[in-house]
Amino acid sequence: MNKIITSLAFFRCVDGARAGGPIGGRPGDRDQRAGICARLRRRLPPQPPREQIILSAVSRRRRLDEREPIATGVRSWTQLGARLREAIGNPSDRLLLTALFLSIFCLDYLPRAFSTSGSFPVAEFIGFVAIAVVLRRFGAETLLMRWDFRAIAAASVAVIHPWRHMSGLALTGLGLLFCARRDNRLASLGQLSLALACVDIWGQMALAAIEAKLLPIETALAYLPLSYLDSFTLHGNTISHPDGHSVIVEGGCSAFSNLVIAALLWLSFMKIRNLQFRSRHFGVLAAGLLAIVIVNAVRIDLCAWSPDYFQFLARGSRSRDTFLDHADT
């Protein structure tokens, strides 16, 4: 308050000095006013110049700009921590299902990619890519029911077991649980899970069950063009040539396993493109399966035609065809 009164007195003194300048006023009054103004200037705090005020404001703004990225980074990490706590405390259906399928993939299927005992599981990898695409379509809505959480918990515990086919059993349970749901996303997950389980377990078991009746049929199909070309003979699942070269068709060279893999690939691409089942789509599947059967029959024909083809196609592809004997006549 005293500073305000002193400032007003100073400006009044200045106005009076201007009014009593050379135009009017006595010299004694001017001297008195000049003394008062000098004392008031000593009492007022020094005012910074205009340029100093502008520079200080610019430097303050620059310091704020330098601190802004740090503050933005801190806010982003804080928001990430809050989202993580919320996801752990109240996980969504998509998060639970993603964690389950990711654990199945990492524990059972990913080690096969680095194994030297078998081939790279291309079809299974594409199947899990389709599962990931379907999971991306999940939103924040709740789709799982109470018994679904129990099934997910049981499957999560089951995949820890070291048995190789435990993941296939877990996928079978999830597939049977989800494939009949009204929601298209859950039904797609169930269908893909059953397809993966068929490639892993049930396809091999089905082949072992029908192998005794299926292999003679496939051998006869392969023998049909050979019967018009040369003097080949057919005995069950064995194709023999008069020169002594014979081929036994076993389960490893059957087209059945490739048919199951082709069905998995067809279903995976259907789900990736989010297509509804139409008759033309099943026509594409039937044409693909027929092409696989024909190609496999041609492969058996080439193996029976010449030992050189057999060495290249059967031994080179690690098939379980059996080369009995070969004698030059």
Instruction: Return the closest-CA partner of residue 93 out of 128, 135, 150, 42.
Output: 135
Between these two residues, 281 and 54, which has the higher pLDDT value? Answer: 281
Whether 192 contacts 270, CB under 8 Å: no
| Nearest-angstrom CA–CA distance, 157 and 177 | 17
Angle at 175 between CA 170 and CA 180, to 5 degrees: 155
Domain extent listing, the chain: 2-43, 93-202, 206-323
Provide the pLDDT confidence category of residue 33 given band limits of 50, 70 and 90: low
**Identity of the amino acid at 200:** D
CA 305 to chain CA mean position, Å = 46
pLDDT of residue 264: 94
Contacts of 252 (CB under 8 A, 6+ apart): 319, 320, 321
Question: Is the confidence at residue 323, as pLDDT, over 70?
Answer: no
| Nearest-angstrom CA–CA distance, 126 and 59 | 57
What are the CB-based long-range contacts (under 8 Å, 24+) for 71-77?
Answer: none
**Identity of the amino acid at 156:** S
Angle at 236 between CA 235 and CA 241, to 5 degrees: 35
Question: Is the confidence at residue 163, as pLDDT, over 90?
Answer: no
Cross-strand partners of 270: none
**Each residue's pLDDT tens digit, 73-122:** 666 656 666 555 555 556 788 888 998 999 999 888 888 777 766 677 88
| Nearest-angstrom CA–CA distance, 247 and 13 | 124
Radius of gyration of the chain (CA): 43
Predicted structure pTM score: 0.67
pLDDT of residue 194: 94
Whether 200 contacts 189, CB under 8 Å: no
Distances in whole angstroms, Cα of residue 80 to Cα of each of 86, 140, 179, 191: 10, 18, 35, 34
Provide the pLDDT confidence category of residue 161 given band limits of 50, 70 and 90: confident
Provide the pLDDT confidence category of residue 8 given band limits of 50, 70 and 90: very low
Question: In the chain, what percentage of residues exceed pLDDT 90?
Answer: 23
Mean pLDDT throughout 225-254?
A: 82
**Each residue's pLDDT tens digit, 204-235:** 899 889 988 898 899 999 888 888 877 788 88
Whether 251 contacts 211, CB under 8 Å: yes
Instruction: Return the closest-CA partner of residue 148 out of 190, 188, 109.
Output: 190
